[in-house]
Amino acid sequence: MKQLTRLALVINDVQRFVICDPEKDSLAVVLRRLGLTGTKIGCNTGVCGACSVIVNGQVIRSCTRKMKNVAENSVIRTIEGIGTPQNLHPLQQAWITYGGIQCGFCTPGFIVSAYGLLSENPSPTREEVREWFRSHRNICRCTGYKPIVDSVMAAAKVMRGEATMADITFDPDSVKDIYGSYLPRPSAVAKACGLADYGDDIKLKMPEGVAHLAVVISKVPHARIISIDTSEAEACEGVYKVMTAKDVKGTNNLDSPAVVPRQRGTGLTLFPVLADEKINRIGDAVALVAADTEEHARAAAEKVKQNLEILPAYKTLPEAVMPNAIQLNKGVPNFYMEQPVFKGQDPSEIFDDAPHVVEGSFHSQHEPHLPIEPDTVQAYWGTDGLLTIQCKSQSITESIAAVSQSCGIPTDKIRMIMNTTGGSFGYAVSSNTYALVVTAVQNLDMPCTLTLPYAEFNHMSGKRSATFTNGRLACDENGKIIAAEYDVGLDHGAYGEVAGKIFNNLVSIGFHGYNIPNIKALARGVATNNAFNTAYRGFGAPQIYTTTEALMDMLAEKAGIDPWEFRYRNLARPGDTNINSMPYYDYEVYPKMLEMIKPYYDKYKAEAEAGRAEGRHLGVGLSMGGFLVTIGMFDQAEVALELMPDGTFTHYNTWEDVGQGGDIGALTHAVKALEPLGVKPGQVHLVMNDSKTCPDTGLAAASRSHYMAGNATIDAANKLMDAMRKPDSTYRTYAEMVAEGIPTKYIGHYDQFNIGLPPGLNPNTGEGEKNPTYMYNANTCLVEVDVETGKTKVLRYTTACDVGVIGNRLSVEGQAYGGLSHSIGFALSENYNNELRENNIAACGIPQITDIPDDFNVLFHESKRPNGPHGSCGCSECFQSSNHMAVINAIKNACGVRVFALPATPDKVKAGLEALKRGEEIIPEKYYLGTDFEEELDFIKANPI
Ligand code: FES
Ligand code: FES
């Protein structure tokens, strides 16, 4: 018999009475049941701080506090008791104003935690703030932390009476030109007050009669399914149905072709919604349980039995391409696509006689995205007859197509709405969980909801592809590069999803900004039994810069030239071409990036020198990079603008907002495009991310949204203003438009079909240009290595970037700090190897606040992009391109250890130090990537397609 208890609690200054299961219920669950959903549940294991509340004056993580450990009459404060939209607390206002909010999922926990800090210490130093958040395990994946510390410091001033609320509030009426302003995002107030409803909050607020789902996932990486026994699970209390592959109504295949037009390769992998014949990774969905409660669904899921024939698992690319390896995907070889690059003289003819040559083999890891919010999905038949899916998709149209194909529903029968989303960074382009919930709705004919526990989310979701690369680089006596070659294998995991898009970047982004006169390179795509791989900020760029920016430093050292000078000497100048034999767009920007970074580089070098004199192991690193903008010639975007009866405007779009600021982007573009009408931010409403009501603006990826949606908005605004304009050049009112029968709503369109871009790289030569513009950056940092433990700490970091004319400064700075913090994590700690123990953000190496420097600088150079909206391009992926390599190069500078295989965890650095003590160096052996590099390129030359 279930026994409950009644407890009196003082919550946000009011006595409340709760009924709870003292053994099972956590305080977080009870608070959320009361409707206080500002207390978020992310990890549910005490490692993210999203559930922070104050109990009897102490900040605690409420997800791990069982109700049996909450005393009667405890005094509890949640985010709802700190301030309201009508009466914001200084902390909430500061978070809004200083960029503390992006996706906002961590925000309530941080603000509550900061409230606890300032109650104890009204005048903390920045270091004390950082230490507080570290010790209370408040983790933010979006902001890079610096804006959060800025927010606390600003709020503390107000609370001490040294500043006013007005001082820390951005006044929208003060904006003369919205473009380039610090206007906060429209969703910030709701997020700061804990009132933004994310997926799991929506689940709690749905009407009765909803089926709760639990997924049964594979716990082994490779197996043949003999049978799935669901009988015991079917008999469990509250179970409606247990579904397996036979219950999927469509093709049961989520994958789109791995090989995009003009690529060399074979076939289409099968990415099942529910595994049918085979398991290809830990995290494949094997069965789906629907029950009356989440608890019942989860209990029944435990009873599903997987009868499997275990097969050999290839967790890395070199294993999967061994000559005797078994084929992982039906009809698709393990090594399933390739792209060569040939430019200039064959480097093989140059290397032997070159004055300076370096070579190495490099590995970049499967990086997990680690948003604080796990995946949540609701789906139901709408009153309009559409199957409505509420989820985190950042590619609504593609997700609808994937669900349609795999679940057997016409696309025009599907409506997709994006919930407020607690971070994605790319994983939410995948549709595997959406298709699962749709399958349940189809089978049960009732609304269904799924909230994945973090461990399952981490195993089920896609990751950044890993790479294994062999590379060489040569220069002449003057330090001018004369030849390069690299053979890069993309370890793309279980399925081919987006492989084609990531893949080509490996042979177009490498050595970005330099003049490499002679190069040959090969990119290979390979299937393994690791997680399936998907989009992640900078897709393909961090992987290839791991090789090229290491080789640049290694060659500079070999030639005896300072790494800054070496890079500067090798910059592309007018007349030079990129590795795809195309002219660069902005020759004047590359030297600017290095020049802007130079004072910081010199300062860090002087500090490192002084530190070394005291016996510290300080080092300075550099990297140069950048990334493309848009998905190339096939890219297109639409938005709509409507004049409303009250004279305001509505902007309709699917600029998916994963926390990067789709809302402030759309608002900024609309106000700017309607500038001739004198429109203010408060006069524009946003209708976003609902496929029924919004035109298709395309996916939020490839740093394309600001560029594409911006150009489409200009088109919509021009059409609307043309319609409103009277012969005397004044503008019609809504009433006048209606009276004259003139439409008040216009679709704006922008595409790249006819701007001269080819559909991709030439599959035989690697020649060609894929993108209309690029972003550029150079990075430097100062690190310290603890030679006892091998641990690296980044002390200072500065990036100089050109991301075009800035639309919203708060968002762009936010993307910079956030992307750089992921880059530092990628360099030092983040990893995912498809192991069961990698079940939360801590186990996967997410950086805490003290792992990210507070001395963190972003320097902007704003050159106008000719075809960009108001001179803009994109920004996000610039900050997660080569940025990690400044850290890796700094480690070498600090202690002499070059880490060839990321991340540079303490054990690797320590092993390198031990080897140096023995007078050795750890040099990885050349990777075997399936076939001989030279022979493969000769074969491609002899067999053009
Ligand atoms: S610490 Fe409680 S949800 Fe993460
Ligand atoms: S804003 Fe902190 S996790 Fe997204």
What local confidence, expressed as pLDDT, does residue 261 receive? 55
Average pLDDT in the chain: 96
Summarised one tens digit per residue, pLDDT across range 522-556 is: 999 999 999 999 999 999 999 999 999 999 999 99
Q: Assess whether the C-beta atom of 494 lies below 6 angstroms from ligand 2.
A: no
Give the pLDDT band of residue 190 (cuts 50, 70, 90): very high
Which ligand is located closest to the Cα atom of residue 47? 1
DSSP character at residue 463: B
Q: Assess whether the C-beta atom of 138 lies below 6 angstroms from ligand 2.
A: no
d(CA 193, CA 199): 17
Residue 126: C-alpha distances to residues 131, 164, 165, 847 (Å): 9, 20, 21, 18
Q: Is the distance from CB of 590 to CB of 645 less than 8 angstroms?
A: no
Which ligand 1 atom lies nearest to the CA of residue 49?
1
Helix (H) or strand (E) holding 91: helix 90-97
Q: Assess whether the C-beta atom of 106 lies below 6 angstroms from ligand 2.
A: yes
Calculate how far, in angstroms, residue 706's C-alpha sits from the geometric centre of ligand 2. Answer: 20
What local confidence, expressed as pLDDT, does residue 172 receive? 87
| Protein residue with least CA distance to atom 4, ligand 2 | 103
Ligand 1 binding pocket mutation candidate from 37, 47, 55 (most atoms within 8 A of CB): 47
Calculate how far, in angstroms, residue 795's C-alpha sits from the geometric centre of ligand 1. Answer: 28
* Cβ atoms < 10 Å from Cβ of 297: 25
Determine how β-strand 745-751 pairs with β-strand 684-688. unpaired
Furthest-apart CA atoms within the chain: distance in Å: 88
What local confidence, expressed as pLDDT, does residue 14 receive? 98
Give the pLDDT band of residue 270 (cuts 50, 70, 90): confident
DSSP character at residue 42: S
Summarised one tens digit per residue, pLDDT across range 58-107 is: 999 999 999 999 999 999 999 999 999 999 999 999 999 999 999 999 99
Q: Is the dihedral of CA 264, 266, 267, 269 positive or negative?
A: negative
Known catalytic membership, residue 877: yes
Which ligand is located closest to the Cα atom of residue 27? 1
Tokens of 273: 């919604």
Q: Assess whether the C-beta atom of 814 lies below 6 angstroms from ligand 2.
A: no
Tokens of 859: 């320097």
Q: Is the distance from CB of 693 to CB of 638 less than 8 angstroms?
A: no
| Residue scoring higher pLDDT (603 or 261) | 603
Give the pLDDT band of residue 354 (cuts 50, 70, 90): very high
Q: Which residues have C-beta atoms less than 6 Å from ligand 1?
A: 41-44, 46-51, 61, 63
Give the pLDDT band of residue 315 (cuts 50, 70, 90): very high
What local confidence, expressed as pLDDT, does residue 25 receive? 98
Classify burial at 640, counting beta carbons within 10 Å of its beta carbon; exposed 0-12, middle 13-18, buried 19 or more: buried
Query: Residue 175 pLDDT more than 90?
Result: no
Give the pLDDT band of residue 558 (cuts 50, 70, 90): very high
| Rounded average pLDDT over 159-185 | 95
Summarised one tens digit per residue, pLDDT across range 448-505 is: 999 999 999 999 999 999 999 999 999 999 999 999 999 999 999 999 888 888 888 9
Calculate how far, in angstroms, residue 538's C-alpha sits from the geometric centre of ligand 2. Answer: 19
| Listed residue (561, 564, 629, 619) closest to 594, CA to CA | 564
Query: Residue 267 pLDDT more than 80?
Result: no
Q: Assess whether the C-beta atom of 103 lies below 6 angstroms from ligand 2.
A: yes
Q: Assess whether the C-beta atom of 807 lies below 6 angstroms from ligand 2.
A: no
Give the pLDDT band of residue 673 (cuts 50, 70, 90): very high
Which ligand is located closest to the Cα atom of residue 61? 1
| Listed residue (818, 807, 828) closest to 879, CA to CA | 818
Query: Residue 260 pLDDT more than 80?
Result: no
What local confidence, expressed as pLDDT, does residue 33 receive? 97
Q: Is the distance from CB of 166 to CB of 90 less than 8 angstroms?
A: no
Q: Assess whether the C-beta atom of 423 lies below 6 angstroms from ligand 2.
A: yes
d(CA 612, CA 852): 22
Query: Residue 262 pLDDT more than 70?
Result: no
Alpha helices in 100-180 (DSSP H): 107-120, 126-135, 146-159
Query: Residue 125 pLDDT more than 60?
Result: yes
Catalytic residue among 373, 497, 877, 936: 877
What local confidence, expressed as pLDDT, does residue 497 receive? 85
Which ligand 2 atom lies nearest to the CA of residue 373?
3
